[in-house]
Every structure is written in C-alpha cells, then in structure tokens.
Amino acid sequence: MTRRGLLGALAAAVGLGAARATGPGEAIVVGAGMAGLAAARALAAAGDRVTLLEARGRIGGRVWTSRRWPDAPVELGAGWIHGRKGNPLVALAAEAGAAPARAGERAAAWGPGGQAVDIAALADRAEAAVEAARAEAEALERDVPLRAAIERSRAWARLDAAGRQALRHYVAVEIEHDYAGGWEELSAWWFDEDEAHRGGDLLLPGGYDALAAHLARGLDLRLGVEVVAVDRRGRRLRVRARDGAAAEADRVVVAVPAGVLAAGALSVDLPAGHRRALGRLGLGRLDKTVLRFPRAFWPARTDWLDYLGPAPGVWAQWAVLPGPVPMLAGFNAAGAARALEALPEAEVVAAAQAALADMIGGRIPAPEAAQLTRWAADPFSRMAYSFTPVGGRARDRRALAEPVEGRLALAGEHTSAAHPGTVHGALAAGAAAAAALIAG
C-alpha cells in the first residue's frame, strides 16, 4: 500500500483533508492499537515528528492474532470485519494484501443432553419480545437496565420457563456478546445507539494482525514503553514512562483502552467534562476460549453452535473456526466472563469440554490444546470494549473525543459515537483525533 493510498483510506473514514491550522512539530502517540496506529500515520503525514509508544511487546492492542500454533493462527482479540459496505477496513485489507473471506452464518443449537433446538425460530420470537419490551420502556420517565425492561414487560409475563430461557439465551448471544455488557448493566434505551455497516461480516484467514503491521510500517515505534502519566501544565505536554523516562511534545494522542484510564493506570490531565464522560462508560468483558481438537465432532457445514445450557449465558455460543485444523471458539461475556476469569486455565478448559459434551449429548474427544483470554486482567486493556450502561449516551463518547487545548486528544473505540466496540471505529477515531489536533 502506498502512503497516499493509506492516508486516503483514513481520510475517507473521517472526512480528513482540511488545511493545517498549526505548524508541524513533535507528537507522541501512546498506544499502538488500531487507533494509535491510525493517529500516528495521520500526524506523520501532516509533517509532525511522531513517536509511537506501546507498553506491550507487540502492536495491535485488542487486535491480537496468536501464532502459538504455527499451522493455525488464532484471533484472541478482534475476529471479524463487521459489515463490508463502506467499511474502511475492507480497503485497508486489500491494500495490505490481506484477502478477506466471507464469514459463514449457518447455525445449529442444542439444549442439555443434545436436544436439538430450532435456533432460527427461537431467535425470531426472542427478538420480537425484546423489541416489545424496549418499546414499553420508552414510555418510562427514566432509563432502566435492559433486564428490568424485559422482566417487567407483557411479553415476559406471557412466557413459560422454557420461553424465558430461550429469551435469556438470545439476550446473551445477540446482545451481551455484541456489546460486552450484562443485561443488568446495559441501558434499555441506548445500548445499541450505534451504526452498522451493511453487507455481512468478513474474516481475515491469514490473520487480523496484517492490518496493524501494515499501518505500523515506517513509524518510529517504541515497544515495551509503559506510559504512566501525561501532564499538560507546561508550555509543552510532558509524557512520563514507568521507568522514569520522560519526553515532551507539542501534541499527544492517548490511544489506550478506557479501562486503563478508568483505573488510573495511566494518569492523564483531563478536564472535568472528560472525566465525567469516562465515568459514564461501561467497561465490557468478552472472553474467548479456543479449543483445538484431533477431529471435528460437530455437524459439517456449520459455522455457529448454540448451547441453551442450565446456566444462562455460560458457554452459550461457539464459533467453528475456518481452516483445516478443527477448532472451536467459545464466548463468554459480562458475568459469565467474570466468573471464568477467576478460575485456573485447566478448570476453564474442563468446564468448556463438559459444556460441549452436554451440548452434543455424548462423548467428545479431549482438546489437544487451548488458548484463552482474560481481557479484564490484562493490565494494558483492563476490559474487552466499552458499552453504554444506564445513564450513558453516545454524547459521552463525543465528549471524550473532544481535543483538549488543541494539543491533547483521546482515541479508541470508546471515543467513537458511531461505531464503538469495533476495529473500524477505533481506526476512524484515531484518524479523527489526529485531524482535530492538526486543525488546532
């Protein structure tokens, strides 16, 4: 990809292209995830001398392609390009030489003991019930948790125990997994106040990390540098690392997850409005457990396996990973993720295996190997991605995206009002942060 081609893709994502209002200078970008990479590229193209600092020993942030198994790359972070129409990641993938493939949508479902479930009919009925509950919640004077809206609804009152279990499963796999928040936390009014690209999802069989690697080419990148403070009290911004090293810059983009900021692990001198907006964000949990098997035991030509087990939302959905190696990725969000993160890895794998055996209704081969995530325990993430809780709005993300004094900006999926929780949202947010600082 040419430098002009990459910048064109970023410009198209955010409408970049206005004349520069401030002269070139020195810039520091903290965090080499997709937002930080995009910001660093745009600032460098505008003439700044840019240094990109990353605490980890790798780039990509929550885009994390594990190559522990040489014959089978595993996406432990982002796994899909969500929507191919108008999505800047599609153009970026093409220019990076990473050929996307269409993601499959064929699903099968079982209850305990291998009892087959008509997942399509279940989903249609559950979606209608959720929408009816939300319509009733719209008449309330104040926002309530999604759970309260559903359990107070007429649709819920009409359901028997099996119907309520089916509805709870739908909420887990279609809402909690998508937004990384529990139904007891998510805003009934605003949890899905975002925009979606159309056209179906795509996969990157060669690895999502190709996009991050492409964005990083030619940048002055320093790995293993954990920034702990950004101070704007002087004429220039001062950035301090864990080892005591410090540097100054004319402009700084802080592109770390909201969880790192909320925990105070990176102290940024932010105005009160930014701090209030940050406090109104939900810090989501979504973990994967990837199991590698000697043979496939699930139905052929199936992309998703749903399990309506005894514990709602626990091991509720599995993705059949494409490729010649038989692999399944199990998802757990919110409370289910929190409970599993407290267990040793061997116990998590054993629980996953037991759930799969119950789902299939018989013996299954033992997994040959496993890889799993604990995003909330990762000191450089402290979350999966953000969600909108009760009391939150998209305007909080817009407030976080506002530059401070024309020289400091936050960037990441949490600053994208239109596309939070997505890689393309992070990419556009990074480019937008750079554009705002360039414009002064």
As a whole number of angstroms, the distance between CA 173 and CA 183 comes to 11
Give the pLDDT band of residue 10 (cuts 50, 70, 90): low
- Mind listing the pLDDT tens digit for each residue in 415-430? 999 999 999 999 999 9
pLDDT of 17 over the 90 cut: no
Taking alpha carbons only, the member of 376, 342, 374, 386 closest to residue 186 is 386
Count Cα neighbours of 201 within 13 Å in the Cβ-side half-sphere: 15
Quote the tokens at residue 434: 């750079």
Question: What pLDDT, in 10s, does the model give residues 268-302?
Answer: 999 999 999 999 999 999 999 999 999 999 999 99
Of the candidate ranges 10-19, 37-46, 99-108, 362-371, the one whose mean pLDDT is the lowest: 10-19
Residue 126 Cα to chain centre, angstroms: 25
Kindly tell me if the per-residue pLDDT of 100 is higher than 70: yes
Tell me: the pLDDT tens digits for 24-70?
899 999 999 999 999 999 999 999 999 999 999 999 999 999 999 99
Judge whether residue 9 has pLDDT over 50. no
Backbone angles phi, psi at 246, to 5 degrees: -140, 155
Evaluate whether 3-65+91-97+205-282+386-439 and 105-200+285-377 have a shared fold: no
User: What's the mean pLDDT in 77-97?
Assistant: 95
Q: Are strands 251-254 and 408-410 parallel, antiparallel or unpaired?
A: parallel
Check residue 6 and give its pLDDT: 55
Distance CA 82, CA 89 (A): 9
Tell the residue number behind the tokens 């600053």, with chain if given.
415
Q: Is the pLDDT of residue 12 over 90?
A: no
**Nearest by Cα to 52 from 217, 260, 263:** 217
Residue 15 · residue 432 · CB < 8 Å: no
Contacts of 283 (CB under 8 A, 6+ apart): 258, 259, 262, 376, 382, 383, 386
Q: Is 398 exposed, middle or buried (0-12, 13-18, 19+ CB in 10 A)?
A: middle
Sign of the dihedral through C-alpha 391, 396, 400, 404: negative
Following CA atoms 237, 275, 195, 377 in sequence, which dihedral angle do they give, to the nearest 10 degrees? 90
* Share above pLDDT 90 across residues of the chain, in percent, rounded to a whole number: 94
Average pLDDT (234-251) is 97
Residue 167 has pLDDT above 70, yes or no: yes
pLDDT at 138 over 50: yes
Query: What pLDDT is stored for residue 362 in this prediction?
Result: 92
**Which residues are bridge partners to 319 per DSSP?**
304, 329
What pLDDT, on the 0 to 100 scale, is given for residue 24? Answer: 85
Using pLDDT thresholds of 50, 70 and 90, give the confidence band for residue 440: confident
Return the number of other C-beta atoms located less than 10 Å from residue 36's C-beta. Answer: 32
| pLDDT given for residue 1 in this prediction | 36
Cβ atoms of residues 209 and 63 within 8 Å? yes
Average pLDDT, the chain: 94
CATH architecture of residue range(s) 105-200+285-377: Alpha-Beta Complex (3.90)
| pTM passes above 0.85 | yes
Q: What pLDDT shows up at residue 21?
A: 64
Domain ranges of the chain: 3-65+91-97+205-282+386-439, 105-200+285-377
Can you tell me the mean pLDDT for 240-248? 97
Class at the top of the CATH hierarchy for domain 3-65+91-97+205-282+386-439: alpha beta
